[in-house]
Amino acid sequence: MPKVNTFKVKVQTGLQGMSEPVHFNFNNHNMPFENVTGSTGAGETFEGSFDVNSFAHSLTLSGPKSGKWGIDKITVEYDCENEKPYSVKFGGVNLDESTEVNIWQDPPVLAFDV
């Protein structure tokens, strides 16, 4: 369970856009993103980040409170304490008022050539 200094998301919306502010859940605390650029309209790209400075056991991206949000791709850049910065790409997903999607991945395990 690493300590997350900051994380940054880049969400590419597909055909189904939405207009609500984007929220995430960090360890079940629901919060809006900071340093937001772009939008979540159809075909648009949203970027946002958050200075967490806390240990992560769960991190999810929340669906809109009404309507649906069709996401094509999510890219998350994590900056964790005592770890090299790493990024993870997730595939497409449809979110609504009853769903959220996991965007947490532990730092990659060291692999080496033999």
Partner 1 sequence: MNFIKRIFTGMKQEPEEPVVEESSVTEEIESSPVAEEAAQTEAEPSFPDVRRVLQIPVISEGVFPEGSDEVLIKAQPSPTGDQCLFTVNRSLMTGHSWYFADFESAEGSSLAERLFSQEDVETVLVCECTVTITRKDKTLFDWAPLAKDVGTAIREAIQDGEGLIAEKIIADLPTEEEVREGIQKVIDIEVNPGVAGHGGNISLLDVRGNSVTIQMGGGCQGCSAADLTLKQGIHTSFRTAVPKVGAIFDETDHTAGLNPFFS
Site of interaction with partner 1 (CB under 8 A): 1, 28, 57-58, 60, 62-63, 73-74, 88-93, 95, 98-102, 104-105, 109-114
Longest dimension (CA), the chain: 51
Nearer to partner 1, 40 or 74 (CB): 74
Nearer to partner 1, 50 or 61 (CB): 61
Nearer to partner 1, 35 or 78 (CB): 78
In terms of C-beta density within 10 A (0-12 exposed, 13-18 middle, 19 or more buried), how is residue 7 classed?
buried
CB burial string 18-44: b at 16+ within 10 A, e below: beeebbbbbeeeeeebeeeeebbeeee
Tell me how far, at minimum, the Cβ of 73 lies from partner 1, in Å.
8
Tell me how far, at minimum, the Cβ of 108 lies from partner 1, in Å.
9
C-alpha span between 29 and 57 (Å, rounded): 12
Nearer to partner 1, 17 or 74 (CB): 74
